[in-house]
Amino acid sequence: MTIIIDRTRERPATPGPVSVAGRQRDKAKPKGLYKARVPIYPKLVHGRWRWIKWALLIVMLAIYYITPWIRWDRPGGLPDQAVLVDFAGGRFYFFMIQLWPQEVYFITGLLVAAALSLFLVTALFGRLWCGYACPQTVWTDLYIYIERMFEGDRNARMRLDAAPMSFNKLWRKAGKHAVWIGVAFGTGGAWIFYFHDAPDLIRTFWIGTAPMTAYVSCAILTFTTYVFAGHMREQVCTYMCPWPRIQGAMLDEQSFQVTYRYDRGEPRGPHKKADSWDDRGDCIDCNQCVVVCPTGIDIRDGAQLECINCGLCIDACNEVMEKVGRPRGLIAYDTDAAVAARSCGQKPDHRLIRPRTLYYALALTLVAGLMVWGFSTREQLSAHALRDRNPAYIQLSDGAVRNGYTLKIANRGFETATVELRYAGIPGATLRIPGQPAANPLRVELEPNRITPLRVFVTTPADQVGEGSRDAAFEIRLDGETTRVPTAFDYGSQPQ
């Protein structure tokens, strides 16, 4: 069922000469391991997919630019930015969620879930991510839009590039690059707001007192945006991005992809108004699908690595089909299996539920479920007990034995928590924090949103002293919930 299309490019028949003299001999011939870039001048197209792409472009740019400016009330001196990666404070804020660096596994889970959803979506509907949501696609689209504003559509741009330098060419080119750089700066500039209080940073950025990291990050992103979206464009997808190379593993003949229905289109050829449509395909070889393609390929060659599945060729072809009075959908989101079935005169069947999609959906549900479970059982408190090693135990004057601990209790809540600290597992043990009377349990106040270190001493009275080391635990009780911190109590070796 696989269609093999020979797209082999011209290649030297023999491997290149290896000797120096041979190399010098061959200097006259064109050489190089890399194919020179063929400039691409994508033509503007109108239609459903182009409309969806514009809408998504606006939505996604809006999300990107507006998000850091959303405020979210948080108690105390905490930042009131809804989405903030606060490196200085060691916190990640996302609306009502606040993550500590120790909980980075939630981010890992989120990334794994994102990867699995990408797998699932790709198996079902092909490279939707590449075509509509990838920043490279979105910004390239925006840059081409700007280019079109200054230099006109495809034919005008080609003429301008071929023309000798003139004032007209100069100002158009200069204007385009200026706006490009402006957009790039806006991109890099918006990025840094995710890492610092936005209203504060936008002020300090211009008066030169913002952190150096802000300026450097902004400069790097300005540079990459300008280069990637302005100059490299489809080369990022074709040569740099690993995803086009991986995604083939998720696709099969039942995946919806931008597909040229060769069963309908072939044999292709020019068509004149009076000509009959009998004994020929619907493709009139007008090349419109090629000229609108942002990666400069011919979709009629079949699914290929360079195709980002943006659907612009669908719009272009539909426009032509309407003009020549043939049904739309010669190029459409379709599956290889369906096209093959139709070419054999069978009725195509689309199967969205397949082992592959089931596996991906199952894995995604599993990871998402784990995340939800992790979040819902996330405790406000977590604690570690470091037992003193030197000395491991202290014998007191009345024969009692004392062990020292440094107890670190993290209170993730936004309010002071008054907890009951109990020492369990050792008979008769009492707790004492220096400067306070001994008791078991102790009442301890934990400051909000921070780790409270406590020096805690546990004493076993002389008449209950045992031998060696015994398992014990600190129990921290808050509103009926108990956090258990396992540790040990060392009775030491007793004299006499």
Phi, psi of 72 (to 5 degrees): -150, 115
Q: Comparing C-alpha atoms, which of 123, 128, 39 is closest to residue 308? A: 128
Q: Binding to other proteins by residue 7, rule CB under 8 A?
A: no
Q: Binding to other proteins by residue 396, rule CB under 8 A?
A: yes
Q: Which is nearer to other proteins, 398 or 479 (CB)?
A: 398
Nearest approach in angstroms of CB 439 to other proteins is: 10
Report the residue from 1, 4, 13, 20 that binds other proteins according to the rule CB under 8 A: 20
Residues 296-325 that bind other proteins (CB under 8 A): none
Q: Which is nearer to other proteins, 317 or 458 (CB)?
A: 458
Nearest approach in angstroms of CB 389 to other proteins is: 7
Q: Binding to other proteins by residue 418, rule CB under 8 A?
A: no
**CB-based contact 456:466 (threshold 8 Å):** no
DSSP 47: S
Task: Map tokens 């108690």 to a residue.
Answer: 75
DSSP 292: T
Report the residue from 71, 203, 455, 484 that binds other proteins according to the rule CB under 8 A: 455
Q: Binding to other proteins by residue 440, rule CB under 8 A?
A: no
**How far is residue 348's CA from residue 351's CA, in Å, rounded to a whole number?**
10
Phi, psi of 227 (to 5 degrees): -75, -45
* Distance linking the first and last C-alpha atoms of the chain: 89
Residue 458 contacts by C-beta under 8 Å, 6 or more apart in sequence? 402, 403, 404, 405, 423, 426, 429, 430, 431, 432, 472, 489
Give, in order, the Cα–Cα distances in Å from 306 to each of 210, 243, 298: 41, 11, 10
Report the residue from 53, 196, 402, 412 that binds other proteins according to the rule CB under 8 A: 402
Task: Map tokens 């059982």 to a residue.
Answer: 377
**How far is residue 53's CA from residue 56's CA, in Å, rounded to a whole number?**
5
Query: Which span sits near other proteins by CB under 8 A: 269-277, 339-347, 375-383, 385-393?
Result: 385-393
Q: Which is nearer to other proteins, 328 or 432 (CB)?
A: 432
Report the residue from 32, 208, 242, 495 that binds other proteins according to the rule CB under 8 A: 495
Q: Binding to other proteins by residue 395, rule CB under 8 A?
A: yes
Q: Which is nearer to other proteins, 173 or 432 (CB)?
A: 432
Q: Binding to other proteins by residue 16, rule CB under 8 A?
A: no
Q: Binding to other proteins by residue 428, rule CB under 8 A?
A: no
| 3 state DSSP class of 441 | coil
Q: Comparing C-alpha atoms, which of 244, 246, 185, 249 is closest to residue 218? A: 185
Residues 185-214 that bind other proteins (CB under 8 A): none
Nearest approach in angstroms of CB 98 to other proteins is: 22
Summarize as ranges the residues that interact with other proteins (CB under 8 A).
Answer: 19-22, 24, 388-391, 394-399, 402, 404, 432-437, 452-453, 455, 457, 459, 495-496
